[in-house]
Amino acid sequence: MSGTALDPRTASPFPMAAHAAVGNSQLRKNVRHATDVIQSKRARVVSEMPDWQALRESGKRIREHTMKYLDSYLLQFEENCGRAGGKVHWARDAAEARKIVVDLARQAIASTPGAANEVIKIKSMTTEEVHLNNEFEAAGIRPFETDLAELIIQLGHDQPSHIVVPALHKNRQQIREIFQREMNLPNLGESPQDLADAARKFLREKFLRVPVAISGANFLIAETGSVCGVESEGNGRMCLTLPNTLITLAGIDKVIPRFQDLEVFLQTLPRSATGERMNPYNSIWTGVHAGDGPQNFHIVLIDNGRTDVLADEEGRQTLHCIRCGACQNACPVYRQTGGHAYGSVYAGPIGAILTPQLQKMDYGESLPYASSLCGACYEVCPVKINIPEVLVHLRNRVVKKKTASVLGILASPEAIAMRAMAFIFLNERRFRAAQRLGRISDQAIAHKDGAGEQWISWLPGILGGWTQVRDLRAMPRQSFREWWEQRSSENNTARVKNDG
């Protein structure tokens, strides 16, 4: 049922993928429309909050404190969750997480008389990160997404393109075609009500029949051992209450110290994510309660590169993310390319800094360059992650990695050019000689516009990437330093004459 999973280890570099994406006018139209709607709603509900900046600062401080003492809070969560009847499992990487979850699901299905090899799922980016659906299918277990957007993606054999609105790149007509084909509904209408009714009927019998549910988590509360999930449709509430077994997969970065900390995040998250004052459904579950909800609760805490991110003092703030997607909606690059060009389930600005770090900078190295560094992402982040700062930090790591050896330098034309520029800039004579050479070269390729200004519209070789989309002003006949020296010389001469 799933499409080919987005995997940064096999994805094309962002420039190549983005070049293909911008040629899809329908995708760009869909993404622009959806992000415009969300941003407009967000601006309206944020403007109602006189203490919005204080809430952002509070969120930032809570996340900073949590990351500083992450080990202690994780152990506290494990202890309190276990005391309430939950079972905590630890996974070092994606492969270990997949195995734990699939084995738990298989055992739960086997212990339920007459149960089919099926599980129902609540929307979770972490399960997408580890490619859990593919593992279920390989094990002969059929997963059903219950979030409307995730269901659209699954039935359409597609991949999510947004953290909060996974099917943002699909319009109503495209969704209707998917439902007509996959649900065998040739006469299905295209109104939102028609599409929602079709999904509701498709999922309702699964809510009532399937004994195992898989969820993610928005927050793990160390103080109480509780798990908090927020959603807008109610499908999550069905998954959290009806099945006999609930298995939650969550990154170790999702922990927060106190129950009271939700006071901040349950105000900032919905406003930032979907432009709502609050999420329609806020579910908090703590262990197991006889006769009420799932009687078996497992939570799998996954690292999968997060401790490596934590060890990087400058990149650590990436783990503060509460997955609201606001940075994606504000990003001019994302609005033109959509999410698939990032080659990861985490798209947009947060994906550009999270994915390479989770991959230990072995993959996704082009993503830190998928930004104009305009700062719009930082301005809307509810926990004040300075994404441009981290992007620059990661670009530096990429460059250092590529130039770590002579072979690395030779393999990178950019590295050769930067070393050459450094050599020139370190010496005034070399710098002036380069300026003179540049003026001579300009004469061969520059042209004059109507105002008599000289411009360069074409550069040879790899330099042509710059002039493909912009013109470059030709070098002036005289540099500022030369003008200043000439002016000083003329003034001195005039002064001597006057003194004489």
**CA-wise closest residue to 205 among 116, 130, 123:** 116
pLDDT in the model for residue 405:
62
**CA-wise closest residue to 221 among 283, 129, 309:** 283
Neighbouring C-beta atoms of residue 263, cutoff 10 Å: 11
Three-class DSSP category at 460: coil
Both structure tokens of 445: 């390729």
**CA-wise closest residue to 385 among 63, 19, 159, 15:** 63
Report DSSP state, residue 255.
E
Q: For residues 377 and 331, what is the distance between their CA atoms, to the nearest angstrom?
A: 6
Residue 314 belongs to a domain: no
Residue 396 belongs to a domain: no
pLDDT in the model for residue 4:
56
Q: Which residue has the tokens 């034309």?
A: 413
Domain count, the chain: 2
Instruction: For the chain, count helices (H), then strands (E).
Output: 23, 13
Q: For residues 68 and 64, what is the distance between their CA atoms, to the nearest angstrom?
A: 6
Residue 488 belongs to a domain: yes
pLDDT in the model for residue 408:
59
Q: For residues 115 and 226, what is the distance between their CA atoms, to the nearest angstrom?
A: 28
Give the rounded percent of residues in the chain with a pLDDT score beyond 70: 97
Residue 394 belongs to a domain: no
For residues 262 and 121, membership in a common domain is answered with yes
The answer on pLDDT for 260 being more than 90 is yes
For residues 439 and 301, membership in a common domain is answered with no
| Domain of 464, in residue numbers | 430-499
Sequence-distant (≥ 6) Cβ neighbours of residue 101 within 8 angstroms = 132, 135, 214, 247, 249, 300
**What pTM does this model have?**
0.84
Q: For residues 89 and 73, what is the distance between their CA atoms, to the nearest angstrom?
A: 15
Higher-confidence residue: 416 or 266?
A: 266
Three-class DSSP category at 290: coil
Strand-by-strand arrangement of the 281-285 sheet: 255-256, 219-221, 226-231, 281-285
Q: For residues 436 and 444, what is the distance between their CA atoms, to the nearest angstrom?
A: 14
Three-class DSSP category at 68: helix
Residue 463 belongs to a domain: yes
pLDDT in the model for residue 438:
85
CATH number of the CATH domain containing 72? 3.40.50.10420
Final residue of a structural domain among 309, 341, 367: 309
Q: For residues 357 and 315, what is the distance between their CA atoms, to the nearest angstrom?
A: 8
CA dihedral for 10, 16, 21, 24, sign (positive or negative): negative
Both structure tokens of 57: 């600062």
Residue 166 belongs to a domain: yes
DSSP string, 462-475: GGHHHHTT--EEPP
Burial of 452 (0-12, 13-18, 19+ CB in 10 A): exposed
**CA-wise closest residue to 325 among 375, 381, 384, 264:** 381
Final residue of a structural domain among 261, 287, 309: 309
pLDDT digits (tens, 9 = 90+) for 43-96: 999 999 999 999 999 999 999 999 999 999 999 999 999 999 999 999 999 999
Residue 134 belongs to a domain: yes
Residues 87 and 301 sit within 8 Å (Cβ to Cβ): no
Three-class DSSP category at 402: helix
DSSP string, 166-222: TTTT--HHHHHHHHHHHTT-TT---SHHHHHHHHHHHHHHHHHH--EEEE--SEEET
pLDDT digits (tens, 9 = 90+) for 154-206: 999 999 889 998 988 998 999 999 999 999 999 999 899 999 999 999 999 99
Q: For residues 226 and 254, what is the distance between their CA atoms, to the nearest angstrom?
A: 12
Residue 214 belongs to a domain: yes
Three-class DSSP category at 334: helix
Q: What's the per-residue H, E or C state across 337-362?
A: HCCHHHCCCCCHHHHHHHHHHHCCCC
Q: For residues 200 and 214, what is the distance between their CA atoms, to the nearest angstrom?
A: 19
For residues 302 and 437, membership in a common domain is answered with no
pLDDT digits (tens, 9 = 90+) for 368-407: 999 999 999 999 999 999 999 999 999 999 988 877 765 5
Final residue of a structural domain among 276, 309, 342: 309
In the predicted model, what is the mean pLDDT of residues 444-462? 82
pLDDT digits (tens, 9 = 90+) for 339-377: 999 999 999 999 999 999 999 999 999 999 999 999 999
